[in-house]
C-alpha cells in the first residue's frame, strides 16, 4: 500500500520528521553537553541491562537489518520515502543554525 501524499497521516509524518531533525539540530549545536549526556545514558542503560541491538551485532547482521528496514519503508511509503531524509536534514539544519 502506497501512502497518499495529501493524506493527514503523511502530513503528520512530514511534520514529525521535520521536528525530529530540528531536535537533533539543537542537540548538535550543543554538542559537548549532548555527547556527555548520551555517554552517561548508555552507561546507565548498560547497568540496568538495556542495549541497542544494532550496536552489538556483526556487520552482516547490521547490513541485513538495515536492508530489510529500508525495503519495508519503501513498500510502506513509496516514493515519499525519499522526502523523509530531506525533511529531517532541513529540520536538522534549522536546529543547528537558527536556534
Residue 1 lies in a domain: no
Answer yes or no: is pLDDT of 58 > 60. Answer: no
Q: Over pLDDT 70: what percentage of the chain?
A: 76
Domain that holds residue 47: 8-97
Residue 15 lies in a domain: yes
Q: Does pTM top 0.75 for this prediction?
A: no
Instruction: Say if CB 74 and CB 81 are below 8 A apart.
Output: yes
Distance CA 75, CA 92 (A): 26
Helices (H), 1-99: 8-29, 31-47, 59-77, 83-97
Give the angle subtended at the CA of 52 by the CAs of 19 and 67, to the nearest 5°.
75
Residue 2 lies in a domain: no
| Grid cell in block for residue 92 | 536538522
Residue 28 lies in a domain: yes
Residue 71 lies in a domain: yes
Number of domains in the chain: 1
Q: How many CB atoms lie within 10 A of CB 24?
A: 17
Residue 64 lies in a domain: yes
Mean pLDDT check: name the lowest of 45-59, 61-75, 80-94: 45-59
| Grid cell in block for residue 83 | 522526502
Report the first-to-last Cα separation within the chain, whole angstroms. Answer: 38
Residue where the block lists cell 530531506: 86
Residue 14 lies in a domain: yes
Amino acid at each position: 500500500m502506497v501512502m497518499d501524499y495529501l493524506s493527514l497521516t503523511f502530513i503528520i509524518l512530514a511534520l514529525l520528521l521535520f521536528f525530529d531533525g530540528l531536535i537533533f539540530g539543537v542537540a548538535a549545536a550543543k554538542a559537548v553537553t549532548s555527547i556527555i549526556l548520551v555517554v552517561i545514558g548508555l552507561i546507565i542503560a548498560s547497568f540496568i541491562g538495556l542495549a541497542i541491538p544494532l550496536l552489538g551485532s556483526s556487520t552482516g547482521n547490521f547490513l541485513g537489518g538495515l536492508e530489510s528496514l529500508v525495503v519495508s519503508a519503501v513498500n510502506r511509503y513509496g516514493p515519499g520515502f525519499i522526502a523523509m531524509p530531506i525533511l529531517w536534514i532541513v529540520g536538522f539544519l534549522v536546529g543547528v543554525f537558527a536556534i
